[in-house]
Amino acid sequence: MNLVLEPLAYGFFLRALAASALVSLVTAVVGTYVVLRGVAFLGDAISHAAFPGVVVAYLVGFPFYLGAAVAAVGTALAIGYVSKRGGLRQDTAIGVLFAGAFALGVFLFSTIKGYVADLFSFLFGQVLAISPADLVGLVVLGVAVIAVVAALWKELLYATFDPLGAAASGIAVERLEYLFLGLVALTIVVSLQAVGIILVVAMLITPAATAQLVTARFTRLMLGAAVIGVVTAVAGLYISYWLDVASGATIVLAQTATFALVLGYQRLAHALRPSPVAPEAEA
Amino acid sequence: MNAVAPAGPLAPAAGPEPHRAHRNAGTDAPRHEHGDALDPAHAHAHADVWLSDVAAGYGQRVALEHVSLAVEPGSLLAVVGPNGAGKSTLLKLMAGLARPWTGRIEVLGQPPGREARRVAYVPQAELVDWAFPVTVEDVVAMGRFPRLGPVRRPGPDDRRAVRQALEQVGMAHHLQTQIGRLSGGQRRRVFLARALAAEPDLFLLDEPVTGIDPTTQELLMGLLEAQAARGKTVVATTHDLAAAAEHFHQVLAVNRTVIAYGPSNLVLDADVLARAYGGHLLVLGGQTVLLDDAHHHDEAAPGERHFHDGSGAGR
């Protein structure tokens, strides 16, 4: 009991707890669409592309969120544009843009003389160091992303499931595509401080992927992803505090372990089932 | 057979179009008497779908050229032709999903896409990800999304429309079933229910009866005939020439351009079909046999993902 309550006496832990819970909620909601579209690679790309923005913001003394947001949203929209107009497949466009953007970040980073702990924490996250001001910015961005999804979940769902049918009936599918890319970019910016550039894709994908193992209904999928995301983030943060290890990595490990447990349980239950009853619908 | 009552108020709030009066004129509509002598301006003014010298394709590949066409309200039109003839492309042009290279198109009196909320488009089964986590009810409810607009959640009217549409196609007892668990015929029924729930004036259906059992085919065609009798316009591509001859009032034979267009019994004669299908057709003692795989479909347009059963549907 003491183990759970004791860290709550510290302001930095409370802030970290709030940030982790919010981040995992936003990533789970947006990640549901990412998983359904099969664009996990996109999350990875946009997060890496945020790196040069962070470095530039540091160099000119701007808040890191601003630099990350400009770089991430810019890259996301560029990916959308190139894959639509350039006659390239989307994964090709992503590969070209994100490697280039990340290289630019590393290049700029290497021009900084001396040891820069702040930047390093963006690669792997440092949620325990989050400042009150950063937390406020994170809440504003996170609430904005959730509000947009709450307003457009129907349209996003229709456009994801059947883009042709949706477009033909008057849903602005192309504009939603750009909006979706923008949402993924902002979600990643929100998550940077919690888990860092390298691991943020896990926050997007793993909770939704875990929920997809247990339900075939859209609303339950999103709800399940949110619950799994928040619970694992809180658990991961506590574990990292108790063991005094990296918080971002511990949160991601908690999510991965949950996924593995659910998958293992399902396979085991499937193997132990007495007779193989195929879930075929009656004609 | 179905006394179909619209879920909402009986007449659309915008008021029926002036040409609606023609729609229930009777079984033998006067439109074919004129044949080719039909005044183009008259045809244009009264058409639900109108194309004038349209060419279209993907990249460098020409799919259609010199296509001119006027589809009158209340038509039940089958688009037939071999694989790669441009059937799906034609439907996409009408739906505003593809843009013509040249020529003009009007749909419900406007450029394609402008009257999108009065149009219901059903894609080929291969273009749907059947493993997607949505239920039968979810899919049919999507037919109501465009009219709801952002923010608004489906209300009692929408739920009633969804249930009614599912009852019409005989799938009301499958509300909570994930779509991948349905048979091929049931999936087609659900997608037709989505179109019905949208209460459109124009149905654009890509292979709605391909590869399904005769009972389901009869049921779906009966529903489409009822819609046409109410003055709605139905345009459907099909590989099934027998179904086209039996159920559709008119047939449009295409193979890169319009080969023939008119009443089904006139279009589906051996000469016309031989021109449309080339060597894929065999006429045996008055019976026409199409040497064409009914499960084939037109080539994927760039950017389209195709989903085939067994690969991803059942986990």
- For B251-277, what is each residue's pLDDT tens digit? 998 989 998 888 887 777 767 777 777
Query: How many Cα neighbours within 13 Å face the side chain of A121?
Result: 15
Nearest by CB to B121, from A161, A164, A218: name it: A164
Cβ <8 Å between B97 and A161: no
A237 vs B27, more confident: A237
A212·B123 Cβ contact <8 A: no
Q: Looking at the domain that runs over B42-130+200-290, which CATH code has it been given? A: 3.40.50.300
User: Which has the closest alpha carbon to A188: A205, A175, A166?
Assistant: A205
Q: What angle do CA B198, B204, B208 make, to 5 degrees?
A: 95
Averaged pLDDT of chain A:
87
The answer to whether position A50 is within a domain reads yes
Please give the pLDDT value at position A85. 74
**Residue A281 pLDDT exceeds 50:** no
Q: Is residue A7 part of a domain?
A: yes
Residues A135-151: tens digit of each pLDDT: 898 899 999 999 999 99
At B34, is the secondary structure helix, strand, or coil? coil
Instruction: Please tell me the number of Cα atoms within 13 Å of A275 on its side-chain side.
Output: 1
Choose among B59, B121, B181: nearest Cβ to A279: B181
Q: State the ipTM, two decimals.
A: 0.83
Q: What is the pLDDT of residue B78?
A: 93
Q: How many domains does chain A have?
A: 1
CA distance B106 to chain A (A): 14
Q: List the structure tokens of B93.
A: 């042009």
The CATH number covering residue A147 comes to: 1.10.3470.10
Please, what is the end-to-end C-alpha distance for chain A in angstroms?
Answer: 55
Report the pLDDT value the prediction gives residue B9, as an integer from 0 to 100: 38
- Please report the pLDDT score of residue B308 as a whole number: 59
Please name the member of B123, B174, B186 whose beta carbon is closest to the beta carbon of A162: B123
Going from the C-alpha of A192 to that of each of A48, A77, A180, A185, B283, the distances in angstroms are: 10, 19, 18, 11, 68
Between A82 and A77, where is the model more confident?
A77
Q: Which of B59, B146, B314 sits opposite A171 (nearest CB)?
A: B146
Identify all chain B residues contacting A171, using CB atoms and an 8 Å cutoff: 145-146
Q: pLDDT over 70 for what percent of chain B?
A: 74
Confidence of residue A90 (pLDDT cuts 50, 70, 90): confident
Instruction: Spell out which residues of chain B touch residue A160, defining contact as CB-CB under 8 Å.
Output: 132
- Picking from B31, B9, B26, B24, the residue whose alpha carbon sits closest to that of residue B232 is B24
Helix ranges (H only) for chain A are 2-5, 11-37, 40-60, 64-85, 90-110, 117-124, 132-161, 163-168, 173-214, 218-243, 247-272
Predicted pLDDT at B59? 80
Q: What is the pLDDT of residue B259?
A: 87
Q: What is the pLDDT of residue A283?
A: 39
| Contact in structure between A140 and A130 (CB atoms under 8 Å) | no
Bridge pairing between strands B202-205 and B119-122: parallel
Average pLDDT of the residues in B148-177: 93
Among all residues of chain A, which has the CA nearest to that of B126?
A162
pLDDT of residue B278: 65
Rounded to a whole number of angstroms, the distance from the CA of A276 to the nearest CA of chain B is: 14
Shortest alpha-carbon distance between residue B295 and chain A (Å): 20
Domain residue spans of chain B? 42-130+200-290
Q: Is residue A229 pLDDT above 90, yes or no?
A: yes
For residue B88, give the chain A residue with the closest CA.
A164
Average pLDDT on B119-126 reads: 92
CA A152 to chain centre: 19
Average pLDDT over residues B121-129: 90
Chain A residues with CB inside 8 Å of B117's CB? Answer: 169-170
pLDDT at B14 over 50: no
Distance from CA of B237 to the nearest CA of A (A): 15
Does residue A219 form part of some domain?
Answer: yes
Question: Per-residue pLDDT for B243 more than 90?
Answer: no
Q: Who among B122, B134, B183 is closest to A165 (CB)? A: B122
Residue A274 belongs to a domain: no
In chain A, residues with a C-beta closer than 8 Å to the C-beta of B139 are 161
B132 CB-near residues (< 8 Å, 6+ apart) = A36, A160, A161, B179, B180
- Give which of B60, B107, B117, B121 to mutate to test A binding, by max A Cβ within 10 Å: B121
How far apart are alpha carbons B193 and B197 in whole angstroms? 6
Chain A residues in contact with B180 by the CB 8 A cut-off are 216
A37 to chain B: closest CA residue:
B132
pLDDT at B303: 60
Predicted confidence at residue B299, as pLDDT, reads 53
Q: Is the pLDDT of residue B298 over 80?
A: no
Classify B107 as helix, strand or coil. Answer: strand
Amino acid identity at A254: A
Residue B233: which residues within 8 A CB-CB, separation 6 or more?
B48, B49, B71, B72, B73, B74, B75, B77, B201, B202, B203
What pLDDT score does B12 carry? Answer: 38
pLDDT in tens, B18-71: 343 344 433 444 444 444 445 667 677 778 999 999 999 988 889 999 999 999
Interchain pair A168, B119: CB under 8 A: yes
Q: Report whether A158 contacts B142 (CB < 8 A).
A: yes
Residue B281: its pLDDT value, please? 59
> Is A282 among the domain residues?
no
Q: Provide, rounded to the nearest whole percent, the portion of chain B with pLDDT above 90.
A: 49
Q: What is the mean pLDDT of chain B?
A: 79
Cβ of A216 within 8 Å of Cβ of B182? The answer is no
pLDDT by residue (tens digit) across B270-281?
Answer: 677 777 776 565
pLDDT at residue A197, rounded to an integer:
84
